[in-house]
Amino acid sequence: ASELLGISADVSSRLSLQTGRDVKTILSSCTLHWADSKKTSAIRENFGQGPLIGHVGVLHDCHKGQSVLINAFHKLVAICPEARLLLVGDGPDRAHLERLAGDERRISFAGFQHDVAPWIAAMDVFAFPSREEGLGSSVLDAMALGVPVVASAVGGLPELIGAEERGLLIDN
């Protein structure tokens, strides 16, 4: 290859260390989504009036950190009982995460969705507690749809969020 490209400064840095070569960074992994307002309204109606916190991603806890989100949600409902948690996606850890959710009716698993835009648009907050992340394209999707983002400060996520400019960064 005549040039090496990374999808974030974090990925470019790691690739440069591995190869000993200069790596350029191109932030361009956002899928342009248009959210159908009828679908968004129907999803929103299904979850009631309370704040809807959501996540989109493969259910793979050692990478995406959904257990962190579920554990935090269990604490949140003590002070905000009308809150709801929505996890969109499927993956190898779904059964484990469902067990962690227990009988909490305010946590929903929507499974894999071909069109995530109305699901994201229905959210009041997009939560992304990844343990590692090269870029976080679903964070870009949420930002493009105007949904506030709370994400972990790992990998390329601080680059997307900035110094609390475009969302909130947390430590897991």
> Whose structure tokens read 């939560």?
127
Taking only the tens place, the pLDDT of each residue in 2-22 is 888 877 777 788 888 998 999
Whole-angstrom distance, CA of residue 166 vs CA of residue 146: 10
Using an 8 Å Cβ cutoff, are 134 and 8 in contact? yes
Residue 78 has a CB neighbour count (10 Å cut-off) of 7
pTM attached to this predicted model: 0.84
Whole-angstrom distance, CA of residue 21 vs CA of residue 157: 23
Taking only the tens place, the pLDDT of each residue in 54-65 is 999 999 999 999
Mean pLDDT of 113-132: 96
Whole-angstrom distance, CA of residue 58 vs CA of residue 92: 8
Task: Say if strands 107-111 and 23-25 run parallel, antiparallel, or are unpaired.
Answer: unpaired
DSSP 166: S
Taking only the tens place, the pLDDT of each residue in 65-107 is 999 999 999 999 999 999 999 999 999 999 999 999 999 999 9
Whole-angstrom distance, CA of residue 62 vs CA of residue 33: 27
Q: What is the dihedral of CA 74, 105, 67, 166, to 10 degrees?
A: -80
Using an 8 Å Cβ cutoff, are 96 and 121 in contact? no
